[in-house]
Homo-oligomer: A and B are copies of this chain.
């Protein structure tokens, strides 16, 4: 998921459109935006599908003004449907407001129960609706920033929220800074985005990250900072998977470029787990940088042994089981003339269920690879994530169920190795900490009853 806000710039709705488009890799299920149009009216449009499908020129023109917030949605199966597409938009006597959120609040059930007991009624299961109930101003004379700060104090977990009223945008980040949220400058206005690659697309310049535990207020006076927790209490546990898998290679996360991170992790992967082979092949697209790093460190040629079909859209029809067994496959094809007769180092970013790895190894062997050595540019993923990565049960995680040796056999590889913790952390040069909970189980926050649910 990702959020994007624009304040004080003409054609805000167009800019949000292009910016969301740039972050489409973070969620393809739905998207939306709420803008304040030229007449000062808040307008919303949202829908299921890609940014290019949900919006058209008329819809963007109809919401044109100088401020707005947008969202692209990635969801698990539980919460599909239009009601969960953000931004959410609320009417309230103290002023309408809109919300967009990236992340996952871990104590949402407790808070929801408590609110229901006090009289709230929910349309959706989203964290954004929960926050909306917490921040509505029951006392109209109180500044909204107070109610936001009181609300955020109650939330535990990973979140990066944008809240928009008719004349302000508030950008909030949880106190561990699990997910990125950056501020850019564009002319006299501001842009807030989950990834910095959106700044490049819309011509904005990076200023700084929203800090863990910070609420940045953006209005005509510029940007101001508030903290809902002791700034010193923040631990900066950036999600390692943002570097490893989620973000676009041209984004910088807390000062470290994602492509550079991945290339460095590929380098370190070679030093920790060299392979006697002929060529290095990366799984497109997210593992190409790591494969290049492995190639450079090893001196083995980096080859385009797998091709991704870039036209596979949402409306694409999957081959039936019968057709798959006959060898019909889409999305990813091996390049026979490259891999045939070769000992291949296959670099991938991570192993979750293991099914993709098994399929790719098999594909390469069928295309004539004599050996396939799998190298994973992250540690063994053994624990579920409750902060926004959709791996909800232990049962699904291959490396939670079996050893590396067993996994190697299961995916049919000649050898299998993972990057160490230290190298995973160290590849983000200069960082001293990250959230590696999915690799080691050390959850930075309390996780309530979720771990038992995940074990079911």
A interface, CB within 8 angstroms of B = 11, 14-15, 17-18, 21-22, 24-25, 28, 50-53, 55-57, 60, 82-83, 88-94, 112-113, 116-125, 132-133, 136, 138, 187, 197, 200-203, 248-250, 252, 257, 259-260, 285, 288-289, 292, 296, 301-304, 307, 309-313, 315-317, 319-320, 322-323, 326-330, 333-338, 367
Separation of A187 and B322 alpha carbons in the complex (Å)? 14
B50 near A90 with CB under 8 A, answer: no
A317 near B56 with CB under 8 A, answer: yes
Contacts of A317 on B, CB cut-off 8 Å?
A: 17, 52, 55-57, 60
B21 near A312 with CB under 8 A, answer: yes
Q: Could you list 18 A-B pairs, sorted by A, with CB under 8 Å?
A: A21-B311, A21-B312, A21-B316, A51-B311, A55-B317, A56-B315, A116-B136, A118-B119, A121-B133, A121-B136, A200-B333, A248-B307, A257-B335, A259-B304, A260-B338, A289-B304, A296-B301, A310-B310
Separation of A177 and B86 alpha carbons in the complex (Å)? 39
B91 near A124 with CB under 8 A, answer: yes
Separation of A420 and B205 alpha carbons in the complex (Å)? 41
Separation of A22 and B311 alpha carbons in the complex (Å)? 8
Contacts of A24 on B, CB cut-off 8 Å?
A: 309, 311
Separation of A312 and B123 alpha carbons in the complex (Å)? 33
Closest to A82 in B: B82
Q: A257-B338, A319-B14 are in contact. Are A117 and B91 (CB under 8 A)?
A: no
A92 near B119 with CB under 8 A, answer: no
A257 near B92 with CB under 8 A, answer: no
Contacts of A200 on B, CB cut-off 8 Å?
A: 333-334, 336, 367
Contacts of A56 on B, CB cut-off 8 Å?
A: 315, 317
Closest to A260 in B: B337
B138 near A119 with CB under 8 A, answer: yes
Among A116, A197, A313, A328, the one with the most B-chain Cβ atoms within 10 Å of its Cβ is A328
User: What is the distance, in angstroms, from A378's C-beta to the closest C-beta of chain B?
Assistant: 19
Closest to A203 in B: B327
